[in-house]
Homo-oligomer: A and B are copies of this chain.
Amino acid sequence: MSKKLRIVPIGGLGEVGKNMMAYEYEGRILIVDAGLMFPENDMMGVDYIIPDFEYLHDKSHQVVGIVITHGHEDHIGAIQHVVEYIPAPVFGTPLTTGLIDVKLARNGKSGKVDLRPVQAGETVQIGPFKVEFFHVCHSSRHAVGLAITTGAGLIVHTGDFKFDHTPADNWPTDYAKLAELGSRGVDLLLSDSTNAERPGWTPSERVIAPAFDAVFKEAPGRIIVASFASLISRMQQVADTCVKNKRKLAFVGTSMVDNAKMARQLGYLKVPDDTLISIENALTLPDDKVCIMGTGSQGEPTSIMGRLSTGTNRLFDLKAGDTVILSSHPIPGNEESVSKTINRLLRMGANVIHDAIAQVHVSGHASQEEQKLMLSLVRPRNFIPVHGELRQLRHHAKLAEQMGIAPENMLVVENGQVVELINGKLKLGERIPGGYIFVEGGSVGEHDPNLMREREQLARAGIVLINLGVDKFSNRLRDQPEVITRGFVSKEDADALIPAIQKRVTDIIHGGGLDMEKDIAQVVRSFIYNETRRKPLVFVTITKT
């Protein structure tokens, strides 16, 4: 029997293999990453999305381990759901397992998962998978890529990476390891495609420090920095700038406070004791001695920055003289809400610094020249672009072709499409059922397109409810029809329109000859459309007595 490695990117039509991948060899499964996606603008009411890993449910006993490449939400955010079904040990660098532990604790699962910290540079045998962890630069600290050896060959899974010659923590991507893997002979490379449409080289994390420093030097009042709660390296940069500029630092928000605490305990975040203060203390100090760091760089309305921008924060308000730094780039789909938040913060009197006008954020992902360098170092026999939508994957494949990878040695696939590596050759496998699972109000459900369509309909033109009491003998109305509208027209317009609707309905019923619920709804729909050109959902309830 030939040696076969199965590569299974799990999820729906998003970035392939970004949130969850499975590698299968001889009936054993290694999962890489267990992350979440943020909902798209048309996924109404959804809190977050996780890959539908139903494919693995009845194979959970085959799973020998879950390896997490780094601690960002798109790689760990589904872990509490995954460990419910799959009781396998979870491997990651100590910072990553620390972030996972904070998350599990918040979900009442602390201590219930077998977390196995692994240092970059170490090799772990996980079932039939020999996994070599190698350090890569990314906006997350202590991120790793994986070299996975099985009887089917050696594959390299980069995870999120960039080549940063001057990273903030002075720990560059492990060129030597990548070159050594290349010499050993790599059968397959799966490489990060996020910035495949971006020419050149992503700027170093190091450029952020001078940009922060310039802002800190000029800010007349408080400085408020927004970023992601899992971005420990950014916390470190802010802390360093605080020390340099003699400002005290207060973290706000549960997730940021918890993560900062964990990272300090593990030694990954170094803030002098006399620099770090509570938000309550910070608010008693002179404005030009204070820096506050919280979440909300994506304009999320419930984040601290969202609440500050609308004047609904609990502990403190924005005031003139405040400087707000949005230390992030809008996630695709969030551009509009970020821009609105910037405008609102400006309107509240703050000065706002964001990545369009100062280098207070850089991408954590390789641009084209770095993607090419990865290909040059690893010199893979086969290539699958991952961590991107179809548009980026296609572009990454074009780059690889320019680098000499033959088209027959590449496959561009989307989540749910299995690929097999057999005797050093790529082959399309079967499609597995999958997609995304929507997490909403604490309940976890399948993605239901019908449900989303119904919500879209409700949102587009609202509802009109008509409740009728009808005498079952005479088929005449016992009362005036009750008409309720929501989200249809303004209250004044509804008040003006309802008597006309009541009259129309009464005429129909007393005219007789109609199949009641269905026909009344139809007539009301037409009437409303003629009057308003709108198409609300119309519901008719009839009580016959």
Judge whether A511 is part of the interface by a CB distance below 8 angstroms: no
Judge whether A45 is part of the interface by a CB distance below 8 angstroms: yes
A250 to chain B, nearest CB (A): 26
A411-455 vs B: 1/0 string, CB under 8 Å?
000100000000000000000000000001111011010110011
| Neighbour of A197 across the interface among B336, B346, B357, B455, CB < 8 A | B357
Contact (Cβ within 8 A) B490 A448: yes
| Neighbour of A352 across the interface among B340, B391, B443, CB < 8 A | B391
For A479, list chain B residues within 8 Å (CB).
Answer: 543
Given contacts A41-B41, A335-B333, A458-B487, contact A467 B541 (CB under 8 A): yes
Q: State the CA gap A49–B347 with chains docked (Å).
A: 22
For A333, list chain B residues within 8 Å (CB).
Answer: 335-336
A474-511 vs B: 1/0 string, CB under 8 Å?
00001100101011111101000000000000000000
A376-402 vs B: 1/0 string, CB under 8 Å?
000000000000011100110000000
A43 to chain B, nearest CB (A): 10
Q: State the CA gap A121–B176 with chains docked (Å).
A: 66
Judge whether A469 is part of the interface by a CB distance below 8 angstroms: yes
Q: State the CA gap A37–B157 with chains docked (Å).
A: 45
For A314, list chain B residues within 8 Å (CB).
Answer: none
A54 to chain B, nearest CB (A): 15
Given contacts A352-B391, A443-B533, contact A461 B197 (CB under 8 A): no
Given contacts A342-B391, A455-B462, contact A541 B332 (CB under 8 A): no
**Chain B, Cβ-Cβ closest to A440:** B534
Interface size class of A (residues with CB under 8 A): 35 or more
Contact (Cβ within 8 A) B541 A450: no
| Neighbour of A490 across the interface among B13, B446, B537, CB < 8 A | B446
| Neighbour of A486 across the interface among B390, B440, B458, B545, CB < 8 A | B458
Judge whether A84 is part of the interface by a CB distance below 8 angstroms: no
In chain A, positions 69-102 with a C-beta closer than 8 Å to chain B are none
Judge whether A114 is part of the interface by a CB distance below 8 angstroms: no
Judge whether A465 is part of the interface by a CB distance below 8 angstroms: yes
A532 to chain B, nearest CB (A): 5
Judge whether A61 is part of the interface by a CB distance below 8 angstroms: no
For A458, list chain B residues within 8 Å (CB).
Answer: 455, 458-459, 462-463, 486-487
Q: State the CA gap A455–B541 with chains docked (Å).
A: 22
| Neighbour of A450 across the interface among B414, B491, B534, CB < 8 A | B491
Contact (Cβ within 8 A) A390 B343: yes
In chain A, positions 173-200 with a C-beta closer than 8 Å to chain B are 197
Q: State the CA gap A414–B344 with chains docked (Å).
A: 12
| Neighbour of A459 across the interface among B44, B337, B394, B445, CB < 8 A | B44
Judge whether A539 is part of the interface by a CB distance below 8 angstroms: yes
Given contacts A332-B335, A440-B534, A543-B545, contact A346 B390 (CB under 8 A): yes
For A13, list chain B residues within 8 Å (CB).
Answer: 343
Q: State the CA gap A391–B350 with chains docked (Å).
A: 11
For A335, list chain B residues within 8 Å (CB).
Answer: 332-333, 335
A7-42 vs B: 1/0 string, CB under 8 Å?
000000100000000000000000000000000110
Q: State the CA gap A255–B487 with chains docked (Å).
A: 31
Q: State the CA gap A462–B45 with chains docked (Å).
A: 9
Best-surrounded residue of A13, A343, A395 (most CB of chain B within 10 A): A343
For A45, list chain B residues within 8 Å (CB).
Answer: 459-462, 534
A296 to chain B, nearest CB (A): 16
CB pairs A–B below 8 angstroms (6 shown): A41-B336, A441-B532, A454-B487, A458-B458, A458-B487, A467-B541
Given A467-B543, A469-B545, 20 extra CB contacts under 8 A: A13-B343, A41-B337, A44-B459, A441-B532, A441-B534, A445-B489, A445-B490, A455-B458, A458-B458, A458-B459, A458-B486, A458-B487, A459-B459, A463-B486, A465-B465, A465-B539, A467-B541, A469-B543, A478-B543, A484-B539
